[in-house]
Chain A
Amino acid sequence: MLRSRQGLLLVEAVLSAVLIGVGLIFISRGLGGQLQALARVTEQDRLIALANSKLAELEGAMAFGHAPLSGQGSFGAPDEAYRWAVRAVPRQEEEGEPPACEVTLSVSREGASTVSMTAVWPAEWIPPAWF
């Protein structure tokens, strides 16, 4: 909108200001989006760590015949907001293979994403409530 030997009209000045303002809003949203993505990565990392820990605990306890009867629960402080649940599905085994189950552990927090991990454990470990 450059014109030789003339000043800027108010409309032109306002348009320029609006364009710059819109640009700054997009930059702000981009920065906010980056912070949200960072929070999501941190949350996901926490969920994975909790799921790994719970899977190690369940596996260790069940190998010695001490399975939690309920297939769900919550974590201790400071992770009270997170909950875990397990589901077991019998596996189609080939002839001669010992019976096994696919156990899926899900860890979630209300309003946040969920992480699931699957392991194959002997069917004799699994309490009925998990099916």
Chain B
Amino acid sequence: MVLRKLGHGARGTGRGGERGFTFVELLVAAAMVAVLFVGLAGHLQGGIMVWQRVTTTTQALQRERVAVQRLTRDLAGAFVYSANAATYGVSPKVPSPELSAGRLRWYTIEPSGPARRGQVRVVTYSCERLQSQVGLWRASQTVAQARDEEPVRELLLPDCDSLGVSFPYLPEDASQPLRWLPGWDPGASQDLPRFFELELRRAAVSKPPIRLMLALPAGLLKPPQDAAL
């Protein structure tokens, strides 16, 4: 087959005796262009899909990294504000530390001001729906603010549905592995755990939960005191 112009001068003769395209030529050319465009469109669509996926995944990874870094930094300065449990209940009240699946709250020392002096802050992390947005929310207040102000919360990780926590305890037999229990027993001196496992569960079923082991340098590893744990 040779796609040469058909009908020499028989039809489509233009001005000056120049020949035009035949109908068959136009059809063949249109078909080739159509095939070409279908192929290009498929690739363009694939490219857009890949670009969207890369952007979404990268943003999600970045958000996760920021959230984990924030948590790690807040926990690095964690300390026991008062070993007396009654301190947290007297007026004016200061919030009591809490390490549970519902909420994580502790006192931390954060460098602040031009002299970078440590400032005591109450930090709270919780997975809940706020401002019609489900996610991991963080609040940080000074002790004075925590006494009489509602905390201003910032969304750290969208789509975080719920928290799961697990705490290690020393086994009675030292040769056995650590005992992992879902609750933390602070004991009489309001101890913090040396480390714990945090699971951030997502609202989207397709997204796997994020599991982290978080360390508190000022915490302790001890045997469980409360049998109810």
Quick one: which of B186-222 are within 8 Å of A by CB? 194-195, 197, 208-215, 219-222
Interchain CA distance A53-B223 in the complex, whole Å: 22
A65 to B214 Cα, complex, angstroms: 19
How far is B61's CA from A119's CA once the two chains are assembled, in angstroms? 25
Cβ of A78 within 8 Å of any chain B Cβ, yes or no, is yes
- CB of B97 closer than 8 Å to a CB of A: no
- 1/0 per position for B1-33, CB-CB distance to A under 8 A? 111110000000000001100000100000010
- A57–B4 touching, CB < 8 Å: no
Q: Are A20 and B36 in contact (CB under 8 A)?
A: yes
Number of residues from B at the complex interface, CB < 8 A: 45
For residues 63 through 78 of chain A, which have their beta carbon under 8 Å from a beta carbon of chain B?
63-66, 68-69, 78
Query: Chain A interface residue count: which class?
Result: 35 or more
Total CB contacts across the A-B interface at under 8 A: 95
Across the interface, do B50 and A35 meet the contact criterion of CB distance under 8 Å? Answer: yes
Give the chain A neighbours of B58 by CB distance below 8 A: 38, 41
Q: Contact: A78 with B208, CB < 8 Å?
A: yes
Q: Are B47 and A31 in contact (CB under 8 A)?
A: yes
**Min C-beta distance of B72 to chain A, whole Å:** 9
Q: Is the CB of A24 within 8 A of B43?
A: yes
Given contacts A10-B3, A49-B68, contact A38 B54 (CB under 8 A): yes
Asked if A113 is at the interface (CB within 8 A of a chain B CB), the reply is no
User: Is the beta-carbon distance between B215 and A56 smaller than 8 angstroms?
Assistant: yes
Instruction: Verify A57–B68 contact, CB threshold 8 A.
Output: no
Whether B39 lies near A24 (C-beta < 8 A) is: yes
Question: Within the complex, what minimum Cβ distance (angstroms) separates B194 from chain A?
Answer: 4
Which residues of chain A from 1 to 59 have any CB-CB distance to chain B below 8 Å in the complex? 5-10, 13, 17, 20, 24, 27-28, 31, 34-35, 38, 41-42, 45, 49, 52-54, 56-57, 59
Q: Least Cβ distance of A69 to chain B in Å?
A: 8
In the assembly, what is the distance between CA of A78 and CA of B214, in Å?
18
Q: Does B170 have its Cβ within 8 Å of any Cβ on chain A?
A: yes
Q: Check B50 against A31 for contact (C-beta < 8 Å).
A: yes
Q: Cβ of B221 and Cβ of A7 under 8 Å apart?
A: no
Q: How far is the CB of A50 from chain B (nearest CB, A)?
A: 8
Q: Which residue of A lies closest to B175 (CB)?
A: A69
| Cβ contact within 8 Å between B174 and A66 | yes
Asked if A60 and B211 sit within 8 Å, CB to CB, the answer is: no
A79 interface residue (CB < 8 Å to B): yes
**Is B215 within 8 A of A20, CB to CB?**
no
Binary contact readout B150-179 vs A (1 if CB under 8 angstroms, 0 otherwise): 000000000000000000101000110110
How many angstroms from the CA of A6 to the CA of B61 in the assembled complex? Answer: 58
Question: Complex Cα distance A45/B212, Å?
Answer: 13
Q: Give every chain B residue within 8 A of A129 (Cβ-Cβ).
A: none
Q: How far, in whole Å, are A31 and B208 apart by their CA atoms in the complex?
A: 25
A residues with a Cβ closer than 8 A to B are 5-10, 13, 17, 20, 24, 27-28, 31, 34-35, 38, 41-42, 45, 49, 52-54, 56-57, 59-61, 63-66, 68-69, 78-79
Give me the 5 closest cross-chain CB pairs, A-B, nearest first: A53-B213, A60-B195, A64-B221, A56-B215, A7-B4
Known: A6-B5, A7-B3. 11 other contacts (CB 8 A): A5-B19, A20-B39, A24-B40, A31-B47, A35-B50, A41-B57, A45-B64, A60-B219, A63-B221, A64-B194, A65-B174
